[in-house]
Amino acid sequence: MRAMNLRTLTLSAVLCLGALSQGCASFHMNTPSGFAELDGNDDFDYRATNAEGVVVAVRSERNALHGNLEFWSRAIDERLRGQGYVPDGDARPVTNASGLEGLQRRYVRDLGGRPLRYWITVFRRPSGFLRRDRVFVVEAGGDREVFDRAMPAVERAIAELST
Amino acid sequence: MSRATRSLRLAALTATLSMACAAGSTHYAVSAASPSMAAPMAAPASMSESAPADSDGVDEAPAMARPAPPSAPPPPPAAPGRAMPAINRATTNTGPAGNTGNGNANPAQPANTTAASPAPMLIYTADLDLQTAREDVVPTIDRIVDAATELGGYLVRRTDTSVQVRIPSATFRDGVRRVETFGEVLHRAVSAQDVSEEFRDLEVRLQNLRAVRRRLEEFLARAGSMADALQVERELERVTREIDTIEGRMRFFAARVAFSLVTVNVHARTEQAVIVGPPIPPRRAVELPVEWFRRLGLERLLNTRE
C-alpha cells in the first residue's frame, strides 16, 4: 500500500511538472466583442474572427533562437516589407495584461485590389523557473474599412492578453 | 698647259666634285679639315639671323619665335639634366640656331666635335586631350594660347575644339603642366624625335659642299676660256643650290628643336546620362530556421476556411 502511494506520488509529481512546463506556454486571450473563436488550425494557438472578416490570432512559440524583442520585431518587419507590406508608422510599444512589454507594427497592403490592414504584435517572455523562453505573436488583419471599425476591440484584446 | 689639256682636267675635276657633293663623302670631310676651310665653316652665320620659319608652311613663327640664343640652351623635358648641346653645337659650328660670330669654329675637327658631344638633338611634341564643361571649351583654348605666349611661344593652328601651339623647348615641361591644369586630362602623349644623326649628316654635307664651292670659285678664277668658265659656273650654281637646300633643312631642324609643338584637343564634358536599367529587385527577405516565422501574413491569417 505504501509502495503504491509512493508510485502515485511520483507520477503525480511528474504530471505536475509537465503541466507546469506546458502551462508556461499557455496564454489567455479574451475574445473581443463581436468576435467568435475559430478552432481547428495548426498555425495558430488562438484565432477569432468577427462577422466582417477581421481576424485576430495568437501564436505561442518557443524562442529557439533566444532573440530578444527587438530582434523578433525587426526580423518580422524585414520579412513583411520584403513581401510587399507597407509600414504604417513606427513600431509601438505595448504592454499586455501580464505586464509583458511588446512591440507592435502596423502595415497596409493591397490584396486583390483591396486595401487591408495588418497588425503584428510581439511579446517575448524570457525563460524562468520551469518556464521556457517564449515568443507570443499576435496578428490582426482585415479589410481596412471594417478593421478600422473593429480597431478598439482589437486593441483591447491585445492589451488584455495574459501570458 | 695646252687648252685641250686644261679642259680635260676641268671636266675631270667637276665630275669628281659632283660625285663628292652628291655623296657627302668623308673624303671631302677630311679635306674640309684643312685650314683653308675655316672660312666656309664660319659662313653659316647668316643662318642664325634668319627666323625659324617652318619649311612646311603650316605655321609662321612671329618674331618671338626665333630660335633660342646660344646662351639659353633649352633643356629636354625627358632629361632635365641634359641641355640641348646639339643646338649649341649647331650654334657654335654651323648650326642654324645661331652663331658665335667670333670665328672660333674649329674646322679642323668638325666630325670629331660632333662625335664628342653625344647630347641628342630632340624635337619634342605633346598631344593632350582635355575635358572641360561645354561652356569652357573656348575659354580653355584661349588660356592655352595665352599660356604659350607668356612662355615665349606662339599659336600655330586653332579650331573650335583644338589648338596647336609652339613653346620654347626650355619651357616645354612647364608649359605642358600648365596646360594640364586647364581641364581634366583624358589622354597625354609626349614624344621626342632624335634628329641628331640627320643633322650631323647635313653638317658634313654642308662642309663638303662649301669646300667644293671654294674650289670651283678658285678654278673659275683661273678659267682660261669662256667655255671653261661657263661650265664651272653651272657647276657652281648647282652646288650653291644644294647648299641653300641643306641650310634650309638645318634651319628647319633648329626651329623644331628650339620650339616644341603642343597639340591640345578640348572635349566638352557630356551630360551625365541617366542609365535606365532593370529595376532593383526587392531586398532579400530574412530567412530564419523557425517554421512559424515563414507563416506570418494576411494570407494565412485571413484564411478562415482551415
Q: With respect to residue A20, please indicate whether it lies within any of the assigned structural domains.
A: yes
Helix and strand numbers (H, E) in chain A are 3, 8
Contacts of B296 in chain A (CB under 8 A): 76, 79-80, 120, 137, 139
> Which ipTM did the prediction report?
0.84
Mean pLDDT of B245-261: 93
- Write down the pLDDT at residue B218: 92
In angstroms and rounded to an integer, the radius of gyration of the C-alpha atoms of chain A is: 19
Phi, psi values for residue B78, rounded to 5°: -75, -25
Strand stretches in chain B, DSSP E = 122-132, 154-158, 162-168, 184-194, 259-268
Contacts of A122 in chain B (CB under 8 A): none
Q: With respect to residue A124, please indicate whether it lies within any of the assigned structural domains.
A: yes
- Write down the pLDDT at residue B23: 45
Q: With respect to residue A85, please indicate whether it lies within any of the assigned structural domains.
A: yes
Per-residue pLDDT reduced to its tens digit, B188-217: 999 999 999 999 999 999 999 999 999 999
- Write down the pLDDT at residue A9: 63
Q: Is the pLDDT of residue B64 over 50?
A: no
Q: Tell me which residue range forms the domain holding A89.
A: 6-160
Residue A48 contacts B where some CB pair is shorter than 8 Å: no
Which residue in the set A57, A76, A81 is minimally distant from B301, CB to CB?
Answer: A57
- Write down the pLDDT at residue B211: 95
Chain B residues near any Cβ of chain A (below 8 Å) = 282-286, 288-290, 292-293, 295-302, 304, 306
Q: Is the pLDDT of residue B17 over 50?
A: yes
Distance CA A44, CA A21 (A): 20
Q: With respect to residue A57, please indicate whether it lies within any of the assigned structural domains.
A: yes
Distance from the Cα of A138 to chain B's closest Cα (Å) equals: 10
Distance CA A123, CA A45 (A): 15
Q: Cell numbers 600648365 label which residue?
A: B178
Single out the residue of A131, A133, A132, A135 nearest to residue A120, CA to CA. A135
Residue A146 contacts B where some CB pair is shorter than 8 Å: no
Element (H, E) at B92: helix B85-92
**Residue pair B252/B57 in contact by the 8 Å Cβ criterion:** no
Cα angle: B66, vertex B68, B69; to 5 degrees? 110
Indicate yes or no: CB of A81 within 8 angstroms of CB of B283. yes
Cα angle: A94, vertex A142, A79; to 5 degrees? 65
Mean pLDDT of A66-90: 92
- Amino acid letter at B81? G
SS3 A92: strand
How would DSSP label each residue in A103-152? EEEEEEEEETTEEEEEEEEEEEE--BTTB--EEEEEEEEEEHHHHHHHHH
Q: Is the pLDDT of residue A60 over 80?
A: yes
Q: With respect to residue A61, please indicate whether it lies within any of the assigned structural domains.
A: yes
Which residue in the set B288, B301, B306 is minimally distant from A75, CB to CB?
Answer: B288
Q: With respect to residue A1, please indicate whether it lies within any of the assigned structural domains.
A: no
Q: How confident is the model at residue A96 (pLDDT cuts 50, 70, 90)?
A: very high
Neighbours of B122 (CB within 10 A): 25
Q: How confident is the model at residue A152 (pLDDT cuts 50, 70, 90)?
A: very high
Indicate yes or no: CB of B282 within 8 angstroms of CB of A82. yes
**What's the total number of domains in chain A?**
1
Q: With respect to residue A44, please indicate whether it lies within any of the assigned structural domains.
A: yes
Find the CATH number of the domain harbouring A28. 3.40.1000.10
Q: How confident is the model at residue A25 (pLDDT cuts 50, 70, 90)?
A: low
Contacts of B295 in chain A (CB under 8 A): 43
Which of B74-88, B204-218, B271-285 shows the lowest per-residue confidence on average (mean pLDDT)?
B74-88
Residue A61 contacts B where some CB pair is shorter than 8 Å: yes
Which stretches within chain A are classed as H helix?
2-23, 69-82, 144-159
Phi, psi values for residue B198, rounded to 5°: -65, -40
Q: Count Cβ–Cβ pairs < 8 Å, chain A vs chain B.
A: 63
SS3 B74: coil
**Residue pair A118/A76 in contact by the 8 Å Cβ criterion:** no
Residue scoring higher pLDDT (B19 or B189)? B189
Distance CA A92, CA B183 (A): 55
A109, closest residue in chain B (CA to CA): B298
Indicate yes or no: CB of A61 within 8 angstroms of CB of B282. no
Contacts of A118 in chain B (CB under 8 A): 297-298, 301
Indicate yes or no: CB of A79 within 8 angstroms of CB of B296. yes
Which residue in the set A64, A82, A141 is minimally distant from B301, CB to CB?
Answer: A141
Which stretches within B117-225 are classed as H helix?
137-150, 172-180, 196-221
